[in-house]
A and B are shown apart, each in its own frame.
Chain A
Amino acid sequence: GDSVTQMEGPVTLSEEAFLTINCTYTATGYPSLFWYVQYPGEGLQLLLKATKADDKGSNKGFEATYRKETTSFHLEKGSVQVSDSAVYFCALSRSQGAQKLVFGQGTRLTINP
């Protein structure tokens, strides 16, 4: 079945460091790919998405590129801030049937000043 695997956390970085959170997926067909973020005390929010191969999603300085050949959707940011501290979830939505999301296990990110 469909699945998403993301790098285990927790990840701790200093402010202004470069961030990569790896995400790979297994799916039939051509899924859409998403990164959701959960800030402390808040609900899940969509951070960015990509719907076809080679698409790049971007938002708030974060980027991820849909790589079909490596079945990956790694999240990157060039210079992180303390306010980026949160739990990040990679997810896919199948191309057929009900459009439910399949999530990875989440990566907790802490940014120290």
Chain B
Amino acid sequence: GAGVSQSPRYKVAKRGQDVALRCDPISGHVSLFWYQQALGQGPEFLTYFQNEAQLDKSGLPSDRFFAERPEGSVSTLKIQRTQQEDSAVYLCASSPFSGQEAEAFFGQGTRLTVV
């Protein structure tokens, strides 16, 4: 029954290491979003998929960040050559349709710590 599932829940990476964060959205949900939440702050938008198409990646902070959703279901956020400023909680959300009124269902997030 599922809600949005993210894995791993916690990740510790050494600076310079590559990481991959996984998101399993609710089955059948068209829209998928990635957000970055720094400690004590609100989530900030990273990127948006409608099915397999990445329609907006304006929030990705650098070219070290890459996201994909090849079959319009599971999505992966990859961060190359991690830096300390990448430490944050990465949230995935899905919506059943695209539209400004659509409710976004959030996963519990992956807490990334770069040491």
Contacts and interface: CB of A to CB of B under 8 A. Distances in A.
Among B42, B45, B50, B93, the one with the most A-chain Cβ atoms within 10 Å of its Cβ is B42
B107 A106 contact: no
A106 B31 contact: no
Contacts of B41: 105-106
Given A51-B100, A89-B43, A100-B48, 7 more contacts: A42-B108, A93-B102, A95-B100, A98-B55, A99-B100, A100-B33, A104-B42
Contacts of B42: 4, 89, 91, 103-106
Interface in B68-97: 91, 93, 95
Place the interface of chain B in its size category: 20 to 34
A103 B108 CA distance: 17
Given A89-B42, A103-B42, A105-B42, A46 B101 contact: no
A98 B103 CA distance: 14
Contacts of B104: 46, 101
Interface residues of A, number: 26
A43 B44 contact: no
Interface in A61-113: 89, 91, 93-95, 97-106
A77 B106 CA distance: 24
B1 interface: no
B106 A99 contact: no
Interface of A: 4, 31-32, 36, 42-46, 49, 51, 89, 91, 93-95, 97-106
A99 B98 contact: yes
Interface string B7-46: 0000000000000000000000001010100001111110
A91 B48 CA distance: 17
Nearest to B95: A99
A32 B101 contact: yes
B45 A99 contact: no
A100 B108 CA distance: 18
Contacts of B101: 32, 49, 51, 93
Given A43-B106, A103-B43, A94 B91 contact: no
